């Protein structure tokens, strides 16, 4: 007799935590319906090792009947589509300013509520705030101070630091189809581009995955860890691990600067 039983394939162990995944999907769905948005995502990561613990997208779909859903629902848009991150990006701007030496911990800005570049004017959402420090830049989410901070760096300094944060290039996640986002070459920046990039518009567009990775580096004392969803690959018959995840790591901020930005966010 012939034994045609197929051999067991290798098992893939994911980083996803079932309980956190369920919670993320449930809460994201409830909030998306409440806010009446067209799409939303929630990505929970462990910034110390790059593991993605939960990843939910809205609207969702039934993977057992994926052909019944439109492509825009079945693709993982949170690592494919880009958007301008807005005020969440001020974390990266402040961190970059500190790391390049363009500012220091005691730098202050005068926020009049508006700043002009030729015929174009940048405004805050809630008027001016006078002389403010970095903490109050975050508290007031000041576009004017963020623009001034961005302009204290040279275009190349700011651009290079953003690239170190894995912006404008792929994070290298172990999934196919990732977008590298959009980051206009610094040689083409006008002052208005550099200023508006300081608060997440202008020359930058990111995927949600890129933003989570970049902010995770600040949380991880300045070390950026490549995100991944595969923890290990192993032989189910022997239990022997054939491959452990080995994410790339590199330092983007000094530990001191990272801790300072974390303390500002904690006090905010």
* Residue carrying the six token digits 């190349």: 156
Tokens of 13: 């162990």
CA distance to 133, 189, 220, 221, 231, per residue, from 256 (Å): 18, 30, 12, 8, 30
* Interior/surface letters 221-255, b for 16+ CB within 10 angstroms, e for the rest: bbbbbbbbbbbeebeeeeeeeeeebebeeeebbee
- Choosing from 87, 112, 116, 263, the catalytic residue is 87
Query: CB 73: neighbour CB atoms within 10 A?
Result: 15
Q: How far apart are CA 4 and CA 76, in angstroms?
A: 37
Q: Tell me 5's DSSP state.
A: P
CA distance to 91, 108, 153, 178, 239, per residue, from 133 (Å): 14, 4, 17, 37, 55
Burial class (CB in 10 A: 0-12, 13-18, 19+), 180: middle
Q: Which helix (H) or strand (E) holds 12?
A: strand 11-14
* Residue carrying the six token digits 């301008």: 84
Active-site residue, 254 included: no
Query: CB 173: neighbour CB atoms within 10 A?
Result: 22
Q: How far apart are CA 200 and CA 167, in angstroms?
A: 12
Among all residues, which ones are annotated catalytic? 87
């Amino acid at each position: 007799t012939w034994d045609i039983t197929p051999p067991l394939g290798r098992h893939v162990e994911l980083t996803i935590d079932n309980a956190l995944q369920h919670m993320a999907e449930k809460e994201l769905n409830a909030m998306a319906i409440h806010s009446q948005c067209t799409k939303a995502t929630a990505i929970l990561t462990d910034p110390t090792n790059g593991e993605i613990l939960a990843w939910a997208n809205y609207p969702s779909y039934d993977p057992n009947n994926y052909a019944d859903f439109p492509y825009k629902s079945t693709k993982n848009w949170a690592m494919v589509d880009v958007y301008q991150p807005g005020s969440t990006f001020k974390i990266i701007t402040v961190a970059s300013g500190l790391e390049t030496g363009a500012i220091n911990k005691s730098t202050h800005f005068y926020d009049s509520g508006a700043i002009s570049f030729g015929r174009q004017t940048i405004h805050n959402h809630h008027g001016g705030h006078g002389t403010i420090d970095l903490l109050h830049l975050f508290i007031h989410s000041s576009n004017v101070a963020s623009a001034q901070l961005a302009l204290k760096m040279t275009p190349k300094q700011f651009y290079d630091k953003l690239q170190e944060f894995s912006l404008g290039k792929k994070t290298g996640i172990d999934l196919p189809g990732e977008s590298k986002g959009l980051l206009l070459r610094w040689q083409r920046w006008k002052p208005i581009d550099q200023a508006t990039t300081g608060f997440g518009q202008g020359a930058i567009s990111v995927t949600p995955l890129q933003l989570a990775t970049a902010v995770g580096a600040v949380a991880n004392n300045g070390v950026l860890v490549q995100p991944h969803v595969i923890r290990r690959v192993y032989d189910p018959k022997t239990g022997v691990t054939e491959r452990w995840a080995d994410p790339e790591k590199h330092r983007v901020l000094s530990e001191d600067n990272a801790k300072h930005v974390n303390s500002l966010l904690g006090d905010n």
